[in-house]
Amino acid sequence: MAYSDCFNDLIREFSELPQVDAILLAGSRGAERADPDSDYDVYVYLNRALPVEQRKAITDRHCQMMELNNQFWETEDDGVLNDGVEIELIYRGLEWLEGELSRVVELHQVGVGYTTCFWANLLDSKILFDRTGKATELQSRFNVPYPPLLKQAIVDKCFPLMKAQIPAYYHQLKKALKREDRISVNHRIAEMLAAYFDMLFAVNEIPHPGEKRMLSLLLAKGNKFPVGLQDDLQQLLEGAATGGEELLAVVERMTIALQTLLEQEGLK
């Protein structure tokens, strides 16, 4: 894939800094599924701190605007290249990434939602620079089949939160609807969908691609879905907008269909 001159020049200048061990292009451009609205998701892996002033000197030459040192999720510089394409520069360490991937892929320690997104991020990335070969080593090390124990761990963690346990999203939604708390309703649905898609990507043995285009990527790459998946999701989102009691029936139906799928796959 060809990249613009300003992008290539920016990457080259960052790669010349001694603090930089590796540079990876992730997101839709790294996975070669970009559309006209896609930005550049660039992960700059450091061996020690890279001062903002050094980063600014480079981005000033190749970007028409830049928000330096955003700290909302990770350390980022977010802006627009001179060719008009948005770019995110995210700063991490390779040792940190190795630890996160080992914890999930090898030790099967899971969360509730987006469990394998760092794994997908690495596998889908294009390595643009790799000073020591460590990024290439990690990509090779973790390019493995989806571990059955990881799949089971995700299901065991997430499925009880659909309806079975006291803290389950179904019960939280029921309370929120009774209180007419529309903000809580939307929050609970978002959290439920995070757990729900975590399980669906696990069942299909697909590392989780992150929060964008989850359904379309699941349908394109997977082949194991609960009955009525798309219709139920549509009704769920419509119900979130209206806040009607029918939401509970949709969640119950989604839970039953998911349980049937998990039983078919020997996961329940």
Taking alpha carbons only, the member of 20, 27, 70 closest to residue 44 is: 20
Determine the 3-state secondary structure of 261 from DSSP.
helix
Q: How confident is the model at residue 37 (pLDDT cuts 50, 70, 90)?
A: low
5-141 placed in CATH 3.40.50.2000: no
Position 259, amino acid: Q
Domain boundaries, the chain: 5-141, 148-264
Alpha carbon distance 220, 201 (integer Å) = 12
* Residue 180, Cβ density class (10 Å: 0-12 exposed, 13-18 middle, ≥19 buried): exposed
pLDDT value of position 61: 96
* Least confident range of 77-81, 131-135, 241-245: 241-245
- Fold of the domain built from segment(s) 148-264: Four Helix Bundle (Hemerythrin (Met), subunit A) (1.20.120)
Helices (H), the chain: 5-15, 27-30, 52-62, 94-101, 117-124, 134-141, 148-158, 169-178, 182-203, 214-221, 229-242, 246-264
φ and ψ at residue 225, rounded to 5 degrees: -135, 150
Q: What is the pLDDT of residues 165-178, one digit of tens each?
A: 899 999 999 999 99
pLDDT value of position 1: 64
